[in-house]
């Protein structure tokens, strides 16, 4: 028997939407995040990497592209250029053919070549564990720096991507007009002991359950803690 198509639901996410979700306080936000934590106690990034440099490059390549698409091309790229010096030597012209299958590949090839050269010139070929130094690298913004600081260096940062931005506004977890407002709200409300892993839980939840067009509320482990007003029931 064929399943009915999922309903398209409004996001009710903007700050001016009268049906926006009631904001959670820190206790409520903690309960929401704990529900996700209990369902997935050891979350990890889905990007493939073997060292800090590969993580940084993979995150830069993942902008506006799925992790799966990045994982298809990085093994060949990293085999061709395993170090920052080798990547800088490969250059944008040499990097491009390895990443043609992902979005914005031409600009990303230039950025990866330039950031590799900068790592060699300014940081001894190492990825710096410092926000300002990371954000000074070509192609690296606050979100990428947050991922690297969190995953590589264990800092309690919250990288807000499109999934977390939507989730924060939709559920009442942390609303905001831009990613920085949502990031600050999540950092303020998340229990400190859960903060390091929280961005993994929230990204995975937004990617696979609380999806953009139709959240799958009927199978959501955080449903009882969510303030979204139009929870979606299971298709029949």
List residues near ligand SF4 by CB under 6 A.
170-171, 209-210, 215-217, 220, 222-223, 226, 228, 231
Span between the terminal Cα atoms of the chain, in Å: 10
Helix (H, G, I), strand (E, B) or coil at 69: helix
Task: Give dist(CA 77, CA 98) in Å, integer.
Answer: 6
| 72 catalytic residue (yes or no) | no
Residues in contact with 147: Cβ distance below 8 Å, sequence separation at least 6, in sequence order: 45, 55, 59, 157, 159, 199
Query: Shortest gap between Cβ of 151 and ligand SF4 (angstroms)?
Result: 24
Query: Shortest gap between Cβ of 230 and ligand SF4 (angstroms)?
Result: 8
| 224 catalytic residue (yes or no) | no
Query: Shortest gap between Cβ of 206 and ligand SF4 (angstroms)?
Result: 8
Contact (Cβ atoms closer than 8 angstroms) between residue 102 and residue 65:
yes
- For ligand SF4, the closer of residues 184 and 216 by Cβ is 216
- The catalytic residue among 143, 224, 230, 231 is 143
- For ligand SF4, the closer of residues 143 and 207 by Cβ is 207
Listed residue (175, 60, 63, 34) closest to 118, CA to CA: 60
Listed residue (133, 150, 196) closest to 52, CA to CA: 150
- The catalytic residue among 67, 108, 161, 211 is 161
Query: Shortest gap between Cβ of 35 and ligand SF4 (angstroms)?
Result: 9
Catalytic site positions: 143, 161
């Amino acid at each position: 028997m064929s399943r009915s198509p999922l309903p398209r639901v409004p996001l009710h996410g903007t700050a001016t939407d009268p049906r926006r979700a009631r904001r959670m306080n820190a206790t409520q936000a903690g309960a929401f995040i704990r529900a996700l934590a209990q369902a997935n106690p050891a979350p990890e990034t889905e990007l493939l990497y073997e060292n800090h440099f590969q993580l940084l490059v993979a995150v830069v390549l993942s902008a506006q592209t799925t992790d799966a698409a990045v994982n298809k091309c990085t093994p060949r790229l990293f085999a061709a250029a395993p170090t920052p010096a080798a990547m800088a030597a490969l250059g944008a012209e040499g990097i491009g053919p390895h990443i043609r299958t992902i979005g914005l590949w031409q600009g990303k090839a230039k950025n990866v070549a330039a950031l590799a050269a900068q790592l060699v010139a300014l940081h001894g070929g190492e990825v710096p564990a410092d926000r300002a130094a990371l954000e000074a690298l070509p192609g690296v913004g606050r979100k990428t720096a947050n991922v690297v600081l969190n995953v590589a260096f264990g800092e309690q940062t919250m990288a807000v991507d499109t999934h977390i931005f939507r989730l924060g506004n939709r559920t009442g977890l942390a609303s905001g007009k831009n990613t920085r407002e949502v990031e600050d709200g999540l950092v303020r409300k998340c229990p400190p002991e859960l903060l390091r892993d929280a961005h993994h839980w929230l990204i995975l939840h937004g990617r696979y359950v609380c999806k953009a067009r139709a959240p799958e509320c009927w199978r959501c482990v955080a449903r009882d803690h969510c303030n979204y007003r139009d929870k979606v029931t299971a298709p029949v």
